[in-house]
A and B are shown apart, each in its own frame.
Chain A
Amino acid sequence: MIRTLLALIICATPLFAQQIGNPTAQDGVIPPRGFFAIRNAKIVTVSGPDIENGTIVIRDGKIEAVGANVSVPAGAQTIDGSGLSVYPGMIDAGTNMGLVEVPQGASGTVDLSEVGDLNPNAKAIIAVNPHSAHIAVTRVEGITNTLTAPTGGLISGQATLINLLGTSPKEMAVVPQLALVINYPRIGFGGGGFGGFQQQAPQSLAETLTANERQIDQIRKLLRDAEAYGRAQDAYAKDKSLPRPDRNVVLEPLVPYVRGEQPVIFRADREAEIRGALRFADEMKLKPIILGGNDAAKVATLLKEKNVPVILTGIFSLPAREDDAYDALYETAAKLQQAGVRYCISTGDAGAEVRNLAQYAGMAAAFGLSRADAVKAVTLYPAQILNVADRLGSIETGKMANLVITDGDLLEIRTRIRYLLIDGRPVVLSSRHTELNDAFKNRK
């Protein structure tokens, strides 16, 4: 009898969790999409004004209705949002989430960089590991999406935008192949400067510059080949009397990028590389996004003029030069905002630290960014930059129900996440870390 009572009490306490079962990936099934109504909550829509006391209806994975005067439809499971706030899930647009489990001492778990310099066909969605411990650890902090990018060589491969929920890459994918990733060659670094690209450093300045040009030329040549390849395939599709061009798995995926239909992400931190990437993108008529962007504030005018967005990953890096202001990177976001440059804030982390995304945005807000813009910088802005603002990044009717329900300000470290929905699916707030905590916290 006592045991039954105890069990009842235990079941009753984590109310939401009990109602929705235990939808971790352990049993190979993701939780079904629910029919929910979150009531009496403060709704931070991000795209419009906050709703102090509103209702959100969620059905079939989408936000069906949101507003101050929305009635709860029959059959919806209600979630009492009194004293709570609802935010769109955070998006980190600069990660390698799911491509690496333990970087040092477990190379078998590392799928970041392919061999060689030109790997447009290395697709992150192929290797992203849905069962990585990093995924649950990250999402329970309110991050619902990551752009997961490969890192190696000059052309690293193609990045994927995923929901941090699912038992297969397909279930996770929001956009399987979202962007091409290029390490814009860094002057004086022998190579792309990221990932597995290493060369003997040239001896003289002239050689250094030549080596840099040679690398840019390698990329240029492959992209030109892809243009020609696309034209040949199109011509043949229209006129089968032409000689049939062979299919090529390296050139084929580049076609939408060289035609400017999909974005190309350039990793570039220093001013020279950012300017170089912008020139190169102009020359090749690409649709560029800068990833990294430590010096972006110095290029703000040009970035604005070209309408090129920046995924800022360096907020928690040390300034590169001794005479840089101590807060040079803390205040980059505010400077870009002020200059009208499109940007978003990212951890730039492989996986383990992505859960701290809110603190990166918070630091930017401590140094000049408004709090509202800081929230946008990890929700709506990355969605816009990744061209998925029709689905993600704000609380609006018709968008994917990726929602975080908190007991306070989304970016504050002391805030707790109370409920989490991804694709309208209720997610239990457990992870490898909560499980280990539960296993050891009462050891006497």
Chain B
Amino acid sequence: MKQFISRLLFLAIITTLPVNAARAQRPAAPETLIRNATVLTVTHGTLQNTDVLMRNGKIAAIGKNLNASANARVIDGTGKYVMPGIIDCHSHSMLDTINEGTLAVTSMVRTEDVLNPTDVDLYRELAGGVTTLNLLHGSANPIGGLNTVVKIKYGRPAGEFLFPGAMPGIKFALGENVKRSSQPNQPGVTRRYPNTRMGVEEVIRDAFTRARDYKRTWDEYREAAKKDKNLIPPRRDLQLEPLVEILEGKRYVHAHCYIASEILMLINLADEFGFKIKTFQHVLEGYKVAKEIAAHGAGASIFADSWAYKIEAYDAIPYNAAIMTRAGVVVSMNSDSDERARRLNIEAAKAMHWGDLTEEQALKLVTLNPAIQLGIQDRVGSIDVGKDADLAIWNGHPFSVYSRVDTTLIDGEVFFDREKDLARRPELAKERAALEQAEPNRPRTQGQSPPTSRRRPSGHEDDDIEIEKP
């Protein structure tokens, strides 16, 4: 009985434990020195034959002929290129579910509650040099759920993925997805409001009107409570709390959008309510209203060249990054796809091919710029002393189609190593063969059909409830 109670207690504790409290104390990463590499710093140019020293998970020194302690791990960087770990500002990796699509405003739901740290695509992304992800709710609602910024610490519990200090954020969405354009009309089933871009504006206006009142109620309560300790606080509203944070500048808005008119709509609405859009996501027609986006101070997180997959994507052009960058918008290149995330280096290089961005401008699209968009630019996004040791080491220039990643480090620890990956393969093949021979795994000749894969399609992912599209 005693055992039962203690077990119950244990269960109660672990199930109520917030994920971040689960973070274990781990020994600091070993001191590591990358010797004699080409270093793409992003903030201060490309350095030839340069060493990078990492200590306690941070970049400790950058320079020639650096000294490391005797027991430091040394990586020969000869002929290799080192860049900051890639940051993907629009991902749905490791989310067990993406869309709470039943309501038009779902600011009460959190992606942090559905993290799956064993999603194998995380490893595949590491193998593409990606270290940080902005995990966004889907785009089924004008105001969607809360985001989670993570470092891809594959192999660790979910709580250790969380990026400490990243600005909290939320997903908004405009256009076809929130209009439920691809949902069939079903007889007897009422369509969810809104059904037009007019209704989308109204939903967001209504929510912020309520949030403003809610904030006032709390402000008044707090003021009055200073004099009267016995006042009963107002009832908490989990839907409106994040919106109040937005009004107070404590939560970033990442707004999925496509066409020029809806971009302007949200800028005007945000200006009217006195908050900022941190990033417009996808924003395929951003090039048509680049100066308005820049004037509002919003960033843009886009695809390099996806277009025509639906009507609101038909005017998308691959010059979008260049036009917005020149207008003064902070632009990033994202994946919105576990597949595309593996080659964001090439997606960034496309901005040199289409639109003539410089190499440094193009590099920023997947490093410093997304860091700025997530409020983590003091921690990651460039190779500077004092920043987190999140690095990708390539066997050639990352903007070459012929290059691949050899090593990916996060906080100075190796999370992907191609040599080790290759070395493990024979052992894994053996293990697989043994498992296939195991009695419960033999091919069946009767009984149920094999379960179909629960994998999401590899295209744009955040769109819809049944089928995920961007």
Which A residues contact B (CB, under 8 angstroms)? 101-106, 133-134, 137, 188-189, 201-208, 316-320, 322-323, 325-327, 351-353, 355-356, 358-359, 361-363, 365-367, 371, 411-416, 432-433, 436-437, 440-441, 443-444
Assuming the contacts A105-B182, A318-B121, asked whether A433 and B317 have C-beta atoms less than 8 A apart, the reply is: yes
- Give per-residue flags for B428-463: 1 if the beta carbon is below 8 A from chain A beta carbons, else 0: 100010000000000011111110110100100000
- Given the complex, which residues of B lie within 8 Å of A318, measured CB to CB? 121, 124, 338-339, 455, 458
On chain A, the residues within 8 Å of B315 by CB distance are 436
Give Cα A363 to B402, complex, Å. Answer: 6
Report A47 CB to chain B, min CB distance, Å.
Answer: 22
CA distance A331 to B428 in the complex (A): 18
Closest residue of A by beta carbon distance from B444: A205
Q: Is B171 an interface residue (CB 8 A)?
A: no
Q: What 0/1 readout, one digit per residue, does chain B (285-323) give for beta carbons within 8 Å of chain A?
A: 001101100000000000001111111111101110011
Binds A, one of B44-52, B344-352, B368-376: B344-352
Determine the residue in chain A with the shortest Cβ distance to B469: A104
User: Is A323 a contact of B428 with CB atoms below 8 Å?
Assistant: yes
Provide the residues of chain B in CB contact with A323, threshold 8 Å. 428, 432
Q: Is the CB of B402 within 8 A of A205?
A: no
A444 touching B291, Cβ below 8 Å: yes
- For the A-B complex with A316-B340, A325-B421, A440-B323 known, give 18 more contacts whose Cβ atoms are closer than 8 Å: A102-B309, A103-B309, A104-B182, A188-B450, A203-B448, A204-B448, A205-B450, A206-B446, A323-B432, A362-B402, A366-B401, A412-B402, A413-B353, A433-B354, A437-B323, A440-B287, A441-B323, A443-B290
Known: A318-B124, A323-B428, A352-B306. A436 touches B452 (CB 8 A): no
The residue on A at minimum CB distance from B314 is: A102
Does any Cβ of A come within 8 Å of B181's Cβ? yes
Among B124, B400, B402: residue with most chain A CB under 10 A: B402
- With both chains docked as a complex, state the minimum distance between the C-beta of A138 and any C-beta of chain B, in angstroms: 11
21 residue pairs bridging A and B, Cβ less than 8 Å apart: A102-B308, A102-B313, A102-B314, A103-B309, A104-B469, A105-B311, A106-B310, A134-B308, A202-B449, A316-B343, A317-B458, A318-B339, A352-B308, A352-B309, A359-B343, A361-B401, A362-B400, A362-B402, A436-B319, A437-B319, A444-B291
Complexed CA–CA distance, A352 and B447 (Å): 43
Q: 10 tightest CB-CB pairs across the interface, nearest first?
A: A362-B401, A104-B310, A437-B319, A433-B317, A352-B308, A105-B311, A413-B349, A326-B127, A366-B404, A322-B120
Residues in chain B near residue A105, CB distance under 8 A: 176, 181-182, 310-312
Interface of B is mostly: loop
> Is B221's CB within 8 Å of the partner chain A?
no
Which residues of chain A are near B400, meaning CB under 8 Å?
A: 362, 412
Pick from A134, A326, A367, A416: contact of B123, CB under 8 Å? A326
Contact residues in B for A415 (Cβ distance below 8 Å): 353
Q: Are B319 and A363 in contact (CB under 8 A)?
A: no
Establish whether residues B446 and A436, one from each chain, have CB atoms under 8 Å apart when the complex forms.
no
Chain A nearest CB: distance from B159 CB in Å? 23
Q: Is A366 touching B445 in the complex (CB atoms < 8 A)?
A: no
A103-B309, A134-B308, A316-B339 known; A325 vs B425 contact (CB < 8 Å)? yes
Q: A201–B449 contact, CB under 8 A? A: yes
Contacts of B350 in A (CB 8 A): 413
Bitwise, B312-338 to A at CB < 8 A (1) or not (0) is 111101110011000000000000001
A67 to B339, CA, bound (A): 43
CB distance from B283 to the nearest CB of A (A): 14
The CA of A205 and the CA of B444, in the complex, are separated in Å by 8
Residue B252 CB within 8 A of the other chain: no
A365 to B404, CA, bound (A): 10
How many Å lie between the Cα of A339 and that of B373 in the bound state? 47
Is B182 within 8 A of A363, CB to CB? Answer: no
Partner of B288, one of A208, A319, A355, A440: A440
CB distance from B264 to the nearest CB of A (A): 13
In the complex, chain A residues whose CB is within 8 Å of the CB of B124:
318-319, 326
Partner of B305, one of A134, A189, A356, A416: A356
List residues of chain B with CB within 8 A of the CB of A352: 306-309
Check: B161 CB closer than 8 A to any chain A CB: no
Q: How far apart sit A258 and B349, CA to CA, in the bound complex (Å)?
A: 47
Residues of B within 8 A of A361 (CB): 401
Q: Does B399 interact with chain A (Cβ within 8 Å)?
A: yes
B176 touches A201 (CB 8 A): no
> What's the minimum C-beta distance from A333 to chain B, rounded to whole angstroms?
13
Which residues on the A side are within 8 Å of B319 (C-beta)? 433, 436-437, 441
Known: A102-B314, A440-B287. A414 touches B452 (CB 8 A): no
A415 to B349 Cα, complex, angstroms: 11
Contacts of B432 in A (CB 8 A): 323
B421→A412 contact, CB < 8 A: no
Scoring B176, B310, B338 by chain A CB atoms within 10 A of each residue's CB, the highest score goes to B310
Indicate if the CB atoms of A443 and B421 lie closer than 8 Å. no
Contact in complex: B353, A204 (CB < 8 Å) = no
**In the complex, B56 has a CB within 8 A of chain A:** no
Q: Are A371 and B399 in contact (CB under 8 A)?
A: no
Q: Does B196 contact A (CB under 8 A)?
A: no
Does B116 count as interface, using CB distance less than 8 angstroms?
no
Q: Is the CB of B449 within 8 A of A204?
A: yes
**Cα distance, A371 to B305, chains bound together (Å):** 24
Q: A363-B401, A443-B291 are in contact. Are A204 and B339 (CB under 8 A)?
A: no
A188-B449, A414-B349 given as contacts; is B421 within 8 A of A326 (CB)? yes
B288 CB, min distance to chain A CBs, angstroms: 5
Contact check: which of B176, B181, B290, B403 meets A366 at CB < 8 Å? B403
Indicate whether A204 sits within 8 Å of B446 (C-beta atoms), given known contacts A352-B306, A359-B346, A433-B318: yes
Q: Which A residues are in CB contact (< 8 Å) with B346?
A: 359, 362, 413
Q: Note all chain B residues with C-beta closer than 8 A to A412.
A: 400-402
Closest to B308 in A: A352
Across the interface, which residues of A come within 8 angstroms of B446, CB to CB?
204-206
Question: Does the CB pair B308–A413 fall under 8 Å?
Answer: no
- CA–CA, A432 and B421, complex, Å: 44
Q: Are A413 and B352 closer than 8 Å at their CB atoms?
A: yes
Q: How far is the CA of A365 from the CA of B287 in the complex (A)?
A: 34
| B310 engages A414 (CB within 8 Å) | no
Q: A362-B402, A371-B402 are in contact. Are A208 and B120 (CB under 8 A)?
A: no
Task: Select from chain B the residue with minimum beta-carbon distance to A367.
Answer: B404
Residues on A with beta carbons closer than 8 Å to the beta carbon of B309 = 102-104, 352
Closest to A355 in B: B305
| Minimum Cβ distance to chain B for residue A78 (Å) | 28
Task: Decide: A205 and B181 in contact? CB cutoff 8 A.
Answer: no
CA distance A432 to B352 in the complex (A): 19
Chain A residues with Cβ below 8 Å from B445 are 205-206
A207 CB contacts on chain B under 8 angstroms:
449
Q: How far is the CA of A202 from the CA of B446 in the complex (A)?
A: 13
Q: Name the contact of A205 in the complex, choosing from B182, B312, B317, B448 (C-beta under 8 A).
A: B448
Question: Which chain B residue shows the least CB distance to A207?
Answer: B449
On whether the beta carbons of A414 and B399 are closer than 8 Å, the reply is yes
> Given A133-B308, A208-B449, A414-B352, A358 and B401 touching (CB < 8 A)?
yes
Inter-chain CA distance A290–B401, complex, in Å, is: 26
Which listed residue, A188, A206, A351, touches B308 by the CB 8 Å rule? A351
Q: Are A203 and B449 in contact (CB under 8 A)?
A: yes
Distance of A352 Cα from B315 Cα, bound (Å):
12
Q: How far is the CA of A352 from the CA of B305 in the complex (A)?
A: 9
Residues of chain B lying within 8 A (CB to CB) of residue A201: 449, 452
In the bound complex, CA of A413 to CA of B403 (Å)? 12
**Chain A neighbourhood of B343, CB < 8 A:** 316, 359, 363
Cα distance A359–B123 when bound, in Å?
Answer: 22
